[in-house]
Amino acid sequence: MSTQKTIYYREKSAGKLLARRDFLKIAGVSISVIAIGGYAVTDIVKQRKSYIRLRQQGLYKDDKRLQKVNLTGSHQNPSVLKVYEDLGTEPMGKIAEQLLHTTTYVDRNNLILQGVSHA
């Protein structure tokens, strides 16, 4: 006498492909991925802003230091003047223009710097 078990398989209806528990699992994992990704992007932006702020502080510090010794332009720097002398030209001279300057022009008249003080 053999005993056979009959196994019945019933498919879920199309309207209920996901049970509530399955939906919560998928939603939880999705939200976790989005939250971790958002945190990473926010952290990258904060670090970038920090680096930019430090760079600005360094540039302003250098500007103040150079203003104290009356080197507000590169043409006043003794090292740059020596280069001009070696080339046999002067700032904005024909040879300097050909060798040292690019042909790219950027119009900076439309830039508005708010809250910037160079003093």
The conformation of residue 110, written as its DSSP 8-state character, comes to T
* Annotated domain spans of the chain: 18-71, 73-108
pTM to 2 decimal places? 0.39
pLDDT in tens, 81-107: 888 888 888 887 888 888 777 777 667
Query: Could you tell me which of 68, 78, 73 has the C-alpha nearest to residue 92?
Result: 73
Q: Give the pair of three-digit tokens for residue 69.
A: 């010794």
CB 76 within 8 A of CB 70: yes
Give the pLDDT score at 16.
Answer: 64
- Alpha-carbon distance values, 20 to 23, 25, 26, 74, 90 (Å): 5, 9, 10, 70, 80
Neighbours of 56 (CB within 10 A): 11
- Written as tens digits, the pLDDT of the chain (119 aa) is 567 788 877 766 656 677 778 888 999 999 999 988 888 888 888 888 989 999 999 989 988 888 888 877 777 888 888 888 888 888 878 888 887 777 776 676 666 666 665 54
